[in-house]
Structure 1
Amino acid sequence: MSAHFYDPDGSRHGLPTFPFRMAPDGYATRRQLRAQGLRPGGQAVAAQLLWHSNRYRRQGEPPVRVAYLYRRDRAKPVRPMTPGRTAALAKAMLARRTCPECRTDRGYCIPRSLGMCVPCATPS
């Protein structure tokens, strides 16, 4: 356990802070809430996890990662998908799959780096 990141009362880091994998019961990240069918529901961040990670090191910044925690008892259920939202998402995905050059639905999202489908970007 990293004693540097253990601050349950928040006097040092401003928020109650725990080392990686040391969060007490009753707290969850957004992903953990979503896996349980919940969402933060407008509540403020209740605590945080901090850990060292050289994998995401940036020039001039310490290699510390953060994950924000929310209280499970204040979380709300995820809103159900409505037919209007389903239609809007389907339309948006169709726009991402349609090549602006040849106007065909390619079945995959057009790469933003190319701006067009692969056959149009690499003519034979």
Structure 2
Amino acid sequence: MSRTRHPAPDTPTGPGVLPTYRWRQAPDGFLTRRQLRARGLRPGGQQVAAQILWPSRFGGTAMALLYRPELAAPVREMTPGRRAALDAANRARRTCPDCGRDAGYVLPRHLGTCIPCADDTPPTALIASA
């Protein structure tokens, strides 16, 4: 089976428009946010330098924004206060609003509660059967 080459995405051109590249066609000197993070950098307030557009598997067009690494700032260090706030936020995501227990996992958003509360199963029944 041969792979078909998708045409370049239709993008506007002119002043004030981002340079647009196809998948794997961007020149050196641009990085995505994820690539910046892997190098210990963050965009640091700089404007987006370019974009990559490609056909999505799910229909439509997927996009990645590109930044200049020489304008990027180093990632801020995790302070004790930020670590405490992050721990509290993660604990809140694991705490069941019905029974108030830490479920030990992030609660499913579609249920809004822990699995035992959603199934109307008392937590002691789960422990006894294990």
Please, which of 73, 85, 91 is the counterpart of residue 94 of structure 1? Answer: 91
Alignment partners' CA distance in 2, 1:5 and 1:115 = 40
Question: What is the TM-score normalised by the length of structure 2?
Answer: 0.80
Instruction: Note if 1:39 corresponds to 2:36.
Output: no
SS of residue matched to 2:88: helix
Alignment partners' CA distance in 1, 2:103 and 2:8 = 51
Quickly say closer, same or farther: Cα 1:20–1:37, change in 2 above 3 A: same
In structure 2, give the amino acid aligned to 1:88.
A
Quickly say closer, same or farther: Cα 1:11–1:44, change in 2 above 3 A: same
Residue 17 of structure 1 deviates from its aligned partner by: 1.2
Alignment partners' CA distance in 2, 1:39 and 1:6 = 29
SS of residue matched to 2:67: strand
Can you give the 5+ residue segments of structure 2 that lack an aligned partner in the other structure? 122-130
Contact 1:34–1:78 (Cα < 8 Å) also in 2:
yes
In structure 2, give the amino acid aligned to 1:78.
V
Kindly report the root-mean-square deviation, in angstroms, between the aligned alpha carbons of the 2 structures.
2.3
Residue 6 of structure 1 deviates from its aligned partner by: 9.8
Structure with the bigger percentage of strand: 1
Quickly say closer, same or farther: Cα 1:2–1:114, change in 2 above 3 A: closer
Instruction: Note if 1:71 corresponds to 2:68.
Output: yes
* Larger Rg over CA atoms: 2
Residue 37 of structure 1 deviates from its aligned partner by: 0.5
Can you give the 5+ residue segments of structure 1 that lack an aligned partner in the other structure? 58-62
In structure 2, give the amino acid aligned to 1:114.
L
Residues 20-62 of structure 1 deviation map (CA, whole Å, 9 limit, x = unaligned): 0111111000001001100000000001111122x222xxxxx
Question: What is the TM-score normalised by the length of structure 1?
Answer: 0.83
Alignment partners' CA distance in 2, 1:100 and 1:108 = 14
Using the aligned pairs only, state the percent identity: 56
Moved over 6 A (4+): none
Contact 2:49–2:66 (Cα < 8 Å) also in 1:
yes
